[in-house]
Each structure stands twice: as C-alpha cells, then as structure tokens.
Amino acid sequence: MAKATTLAELANSLPDSIDPGRFTADLLQAIERLRRRPLDIYYAGPRSLRVDGITMMVDLQPKQAVITHFAGRAVNVQVPC
C-alpha cells in the first residue's frame, strides 16, 4: 500500500489558487463525517461516495476507508472505521 499523505504534504502540493487552510478544514470535516457513517452497507473496493454533500473517491477496505481523491486532488488518507 502506498504511503499515506500527511496534511502538511497535501497542503504544500496545492496550487496557489486553493486556500490550504480551507482545503485542510474541508478534508478533516469529510474524514469526520466518513467515520460516523456506517460503511458496512457498501461493498468493498474503490467507489465514489457522497457524504453530507461532499463527494470523494474512497477505497473501502476491512476496518478502514482510504480517501484517494478529494476536491479534485489525488490524496491517500487512511480513515479507520
């Protein structure tokens, strides 16, 4: 599995047109919403998932979800479930 992206690495990779503080806050909010949502109703594997109005690509795995795309950016954020 690829190394997880840190928030600092992600913020440093953003183009100047994207506010890193806002992007990070939105991502943290999406992670919290994803952790509260029961994921056992979804099949495992990559899929687009909409959580409280936020769309992201998520790879659902046993006991964790990995956010692979968020707000048009490739990320690798592991979210324990």
Per DSSP bridges, beta strands 64-70 and 73-80 are antiparallel
Q: Give pLDDT tens digits for 19-56.
A: 888 877 887 787 777 777 665 555 566 777 776 666 78
| CA–CA distance, 74 with 16 (Å, rounded to integer) | 16
Assess whether pLDDT exceeds 70 at residue 16.
yes
67: left (phi over 0), alpha (psi -120 to 50) or beta: beta
Does the pLDDT at position 67 exceed 80? yes
Q: What is the predicted pLDDT for the residue at 70? A: 80
pTM of the predicted model, to two decimals?
0.59
**How many CB atoms within 10 Å of residue 6?**
11
Residue 15 has pLDDT above 60, yes or no: yes
Q: How far apart are CA 16 and CA 42, in angstroms?
A: 36
Model confidence band, residue 5 (pLDDT cutoffs 50, 70, 90): low
